[in-house]
Amino acid sequence: MKDSTSTYLKNLQFHKKLEEMSIASYFKNPRLLILLVLAVVLLGGYSFANLARTLYPKINIPVVVVTTVLPGASPADIESLVTIPIEDKIKGLSGLKTYQSTSRDSASIVYLEFNSSMDADKVKTDVQSAIDEVTNLPSDTQAPQVVKYDYENQPVWTFALIGKGDSASLIRFSKNLENRIKALSAVDKVETTGLEEQEIQIDIRPEAITSYKLNPLSIAQSVQAALNAIPAGTVNTDQLSFSVNIDQGITSIDDFRQLRITIDNNNVALGDIAVISERSKPEQIQSFYITPEDKKAHSAVTFNVYRNDNFTINQSVEDVNTAVQEELSKYSGQFSIVSTFDQADEVNEQFNRLMHDLIFTIILIVATLFTFVGLRQALVASIAVPLSFLITFIVMKFTGLTLNTVSFLSLLLALGLLIDDTIVVISAMTMYYRTGKFTPYQTALLVWKDFLIAIITTTLTTIFAFLPLLVSTGIIGEFIKPMPIVVSSSLAASFIVAMFITMPFMAIILKPNFPPRVKTFFNIILPLGVIGTFSYFFHQSPLFLWQLLALVVFMLIAYLTRPVLLPLCQNWLKTKSSKSKINISKLNSGLISFETITEKYKHLIASIIAFKGRREKIIFIILAFCLFCYSLAGFGFLESEYFPKTDQTVVYLNLELPEGTNLESTKKEALSLMPKILKDTPEVSFISLDLGKIYTSGVNFTGTGNNKAFFTVNLTPKEDRGISSAEIANGLRKSFTNYSKGKLAIVEKASGPPSGGDVEISFYGDDLAQLDQYAQKTSEFLKTQNGIADVNISIKTGTSKITFVPDKTKMQQYGLSNSTVGFWLRIFASGYSAGDIRLNQESDETEDITIRLQSGIQTPEEISKLYIPTSLGYIPLSELGSLQLKSNPSLILREDGARTISVSASITKGYSISDVNQNLSDYVKTNFSFPDNYSWTIGGVTEDNQKSTQSIMQAMIIAIILITLTMIVQFKSFRKALIVITIIPLSIAGVLLVFSLIKIPMSFPAMIGTLALFGIVVKNSILVVDKITLNLETGMPYTEAIIDGAASRLEAIALTSIAAILGLVPITISDPLWRGVGSAIISGLSFSGIIILFFIPTVYYFIFEKDTSHK
């Protein structure tokens, strides 16, 4: 052997002092190895089995929502009387990041987001304390409700219940089913829509008001008093005391009618002065369901089931499904359910797909190692991978992570990296042992001494490329939090496996000498392992038991006939190898050798190093190439996006009719649209309709109203339709282009963390009319742009409100106050709550009691005929003032104390969000002139993308600093560290080139892939620079040391690059959401792998050429 490694090994001696190292006793005792492996397998297996499975990571952002109700108040009144006083109290709270509010009819909703470092429970307590100090709210304001908002608090199962009978039977069964589900321990809560709630309505007769001089408030107090038990004293015995109450026994509507109340010294029955009935509450949300087969909409009750945090998603859905099926079976097909969303199915589908990718990736990597390195190394590596993952699962369980899309991606990402250490250890031990100078035990100690620091350094540099992602904050920081933890844990685990498991294991198999009891153990454990593996992958097969029996019989026959079969197999292999001239020894050294390629590369790099002109030319070409790649991004060839849109199983439609449309009119219009959706979309499986709301993404409190309807278009399975959900959505947009009765928006379900719209611009200021002008002009501009769909303004023009303007003189004349008149108007408009009652003693459900005026007024103009009691008798409202029509916004939005209106839109496939936003920004700057205290911002996906880019850039800077410091410590040289770090911008150039040429957007996942490149390419650069340094230390001539250093690392760089690339091929092909990660690493590695082999040796020669210490 002529290379420097052989020279080093030739002079290498084993010193007895090595046996004094603490690790020596561990290598000498294989029982410790067995105990370590068993501990990893047991703890890792337990952790894996108990890791919760979710779709996405848990987002721990401290968010508090304050909801306050002021019945009958307009949005403007809610803003001034409720929202602003609350904002004034909470805006100074410690750690508050941003706050937003929605003021709508009768309700104020304030959303507060705090810094992610804050404790959610403490934040809620602080907000509650601040709200308790708000003392200037109107007297009839209901107590503000302060709750924590949980991003994970989403239904695990949504299904529609349909009946063949009348609606009454459907409602009765729905209530029973709801109670059955609520009783399950795996369920936290159940929400239903379409289930009509009943109330007791007490409509006071107009003639009774004048005859008895009724005051509705007095009636309400009388009703409330009648509902309460009357205390009659206490009865004492020798040992106990009993309180005695008189239960007035109201258990039916007739009991209400017979209820006696005293009015102005007259004792009358409530039924004499009011019409009492049990009716459905007005304006309730209803649900409907339609299929392509039936083509007729049916009433439905939609159930949203939320799981108990102590149960997994699968457990919750399974328990609920069992209970539902049991209840359905009692009615012989009268009722049925249709699942509209099953999170357990989605989680299982994701888990199975990623497991398939993971197994396929392991097979690819093992096959690659077998091809280029050998069977032994490939098999050991195949053992090292699952052991590394088992250690990672232990860390995940300890840190509270779940198995989700991000953590699985992180495992796939780590898969191509974690075998590097194992390959280095296996290759080194094989090389050292083949010298014939050392025992396996001595070989392990020598490799430990020579490679410990190097492996620690390369592992740290790769970890440092991912660890800075932990500094990301906000929703995106929480979303990607599993990635740095999982990847870093996997890489640290690979170091542990390589040094503490692979190394002593190799010491055993280099010269195996197992006692009979160990052989017997393996003879038992191997068949059990085969049976266990077979059962894991095929247990769902309908013929599983027969297949398992056949496998056991086959293994038993093979075992019994082994004395005959083994010699036959050996003879066959010898004959086969001689005929095909295949050297069986290649199974241990690899089917394909790098020797030929290495020699050609060695001559090529030598010819470059030998001539100054060629050295300068290669540096110039590489730098020019990189400059060209970076210029592509600068000239706009590189597109960008936040998260890519993926093919979904549902498409949503939001219907918004003009403000003021009642629920019955909305229902009629929405039902008429369902058959058209079916007709225009043959890929539909079924459609569900919910009245009174629309679909909104993220945290949004503007999605309800009587003029709104929400369609969920469930599509057929992806494999059964020839087009994507995006194409179906575009087809629906074309079908409803000319829809004029309202606004019909098609919404595609977004991937990744919660975010805003594709395009979103917000205007801030005091005057809503001025803000509305900006919004309307912007909306018209967006509608003229190509690729824009579903333009929406956050605040719609509301219906005109009827405002009573009191005549102060007459109000004083009749002794009336504004609050008195307001009370009577509220009784007329929405009624007055007199509490609730439980009529059905077998149920825990209560019904509200509402007192109204039976006025007979049908139109707003007739409100002036309403009679108001005064000290001088009953006076019509028109005598006390005038009624005026005034503009009334549907709601008022505020952000950080300023009023705001936003315009949002969707981008259709084939158009760039960044280009549209740039055009929008140019339009606003050119056409709008903003006065003081008015401003605008581009938000939505663009804002989220900017925040994510800042997080990634911050992580990149931290990563470069950490890697540079590590290199300086290892090489004790600033120049060598600079050479290694230089490869980072060169690898990024490859990413920019590929993404620009084949139009892959630079998404957030792609930026993560680019960051991951840092550790991978630096690791490869270290191999070259470290080998050159080692060559120089052995006394090799300067030029030869550089040439040999680059050539001898060709195989290692190629194998690690191929392993990393193959590890990402499956997910790059199968998962559009994370395609950017794989594409970035594959393109960056492909280019940097080539550049490293020419740039590093050339630049090293150039920098150290005049350094005499290197010659």
Residue 187 sits in the same domain as residue 311: yes
Is the pLDDT at 396 greater than 50? The verdict is yes
Q: Is 1056 helix (H, G, I), strand (E, B) or coil?
A: helix
pLDDT tens digits, residue range 755-806? Answer: 667 788 889 998 888 998 999 999 999 888 888 888 888 877 655 567 778 8
pLDDT tens digits, residue range 606-665? Answer: 888 888 888 888 889 888 988 998 888 878 788 777 777 777 888 889 898 887 788 888
In this prediction, residue 953 carries a pLDDT of 81
Exposure b/e, 278-313, CB count within 10 A at least 16 = b:
eeeeeeebbbbbbbeeeeebebbbbbbbbbeeebbb
Last residue of some domain: 843, 863, 886?
Answer: 886
The chain-wide mean pLDDT, for the chain, equals: 80
Tell whether 779 is covered by a domain.
Answer: yes
Q: How far is the C-alpha of 160 from the C-alpha of 301, rounded, in Å?
A: 6
Exposure b/e, 694-730, CB count within 10 A at least 16 = b:
bbeeeeebbeebbbbbbbbbbbeeeeebeebbbebbb
In this prediction, residue 127 carries a pLDDT of 92
Residue 988 sits in the same domain as residue 1081: yes
The range of the structural domain enclosing residue 1030 comes to: 599-646+940-1111
Is the pLDDT at 157 greater than 60? The verdict is yes
Last residue of some domain: 886, 920, 953?
Answer: 886
Is the pLDDT at 670 greater than 80? The verdict is yes
**Residue percentage of the chain with pLDDT more than 90:** 9
Residue 141 is encoded by which pair of tokens?
Answer: 């304001």
Q: How far is the C-alpha of 500 from the C-alpha of 40, rounded, in Å?
A: 12
Average pLDDT over residues 7-36: 81
In this prediction, residue 68 carries a pLDDT of 92
Last residue of some domain: 312, 330, 347?
Answer: 347
Lowest average pLDDT, out of 26-30, 207-211, 520-524, 902-906, goes to: 520-524
Higher pLDDT, 201 or 96: 96
pLDDT tens digits, residue range 616-630? Answer: 888 898 889 889 988
Query: Quick check: 710 and 695 in contact, CB under 8 A?
Result: yes
Tell whether 42 is covered by a domain.
Answer: no
Is the pLDDT at 945 greater than 80? The verdict is no
Q: Is 748 helix (H, G, I), strand (E, B) or coil?
A: strand
Q: How far is the C-alpha of 424 from the C-alpha of 422, rounded, in Å?
A: 5
Exposure b/e, 955-987, CB count within 10 A at least 16 = b:
bbebbbebbbebbbebbeeeebbebbbebbebb
Per the structure, how many domains does the chain have?
6
Query: Quick check: 582 and 576 in contact, CB under 8 A?
Result: yes
- The amino acid at 610: A
CA-wise closest residue to 988 among 633, 528, 615: 633
For position 832, which CATH number holds?
3.30.2090.10
Residue 276 sits in the same domain as residue 287: no
Q: Is 704 helix (H, G, I), strand (E, B) or coil?
A: strand
Residue 641 sits in the same domain as residue 682: no
pLDDT tens digits, residue range 1062-1089? Answer: 777 877 877 777 788 888 888 888 887 7
Residue 219 sits in the same domain as residue 288: no
Is the pLDDT at 809 greater than 80? The verdict is yes
Tell whether 609 is covered by a domain.
Answer: yes
Average pLDDT over residues 560-580: 65
pLDDT band at 943 (very low <50, low <70, confident <90, very high): low
pLDDT tens digits, residue range 58-72? Answer: 777 788 999 998 877
Residue 169 sits in the same domain as residue 242: no
pLDDT band at 699 (very low <50, low <70, confident <90, very high): low
Average pLDDT over residues 989-1007: 85
In this prediction, residue 619 carries a pLDDT of 86
Higher pLDDT, 993 or 262: 993
Residue 1041 sits in the same domain as residue 1086: yes
Residue 177 sits in the same domain as residue 287: yes
Tell whether 169 is covered by a domain.
Answer: yes
Higher pLDDT, 264 or 483: 483
For position 1002, which CATH number holds?
1.20.1640.10
- pTM of the shown model: 0.75
Tell whether 463 is covered by a domain.
Answer: no
Helices (H) and strands (E) in the chain, counts: 37, 30
Q: Is 233 helix (H, G, I), strand (E, B) or coil?
A: strand
Residue 962 sits in the same domain as residue 1072: yes
For position 103, which CATH number holds?
3.30.70.1430
Is the pLDDT at 413 greater than 50? The verdict is yes
Is the pLDDT at 232 greater than 60? The verdict is no
Is the pLDDT at 500 greater than 70? The verdict is yes
List C-alpha distances in Å: 194 to 229, 440, 639, 973. 35, 74, 45, 72
Is the pLDDT at 323 greater than 90? The verdict is yes
Residue 827 sits in the same domain as residue 959: no
What is the full DSSP assignment across 535-595? HHHHTTSTTHHHHHHHHHHHHHHHHHTHHHHHHHHHHHHHHHHHHHT--TTHHHH-SS-SH
Is the pLDDT at 518 greater than 70? The verdict is no
Lowest average pLDDT, out of 147-161, 554-568, 1063-1077, goes to: 554-568
In this prediction, residue 433 carries a pLDDT of 80
For position 761, which CATH number holds?
3.30.70.1320
Higher pLDDT, 445 or 541: 445
Residue 849 sits in the same domain as residue 897: no
Q: Is 800 helix (H, G, I), strand (E, B) or coil?
A: coil
In this prediction, residue 900 carries a pLDDT of 92
Report angle CA 887, 892, 897 to the nearest 5 degrees: 135
In this prediction, residue 539 carries a pLDDT of 67
Q: How far is the C-alpha of 250 from the C-alpha of 847, rounded, in Å?
A: 13
Q: How far is the C-alpha of 1042 from the C-alpha of 1098, rounded, in Å?
A: 9
Residue 1006 sits in the same domain as residue 952: yes
Q: How far is the C-alpha of 87 from the C-alpha of 127, rounded, in Å?
A: 11
Tell whether 392 is covered by a domain.
Answer: no
Query: Quick check: 78 and 64 in contact, CB under 8 A?
Result: no
pLDDT band at 3 (very low <50, low <70, confident <90, very high): very low
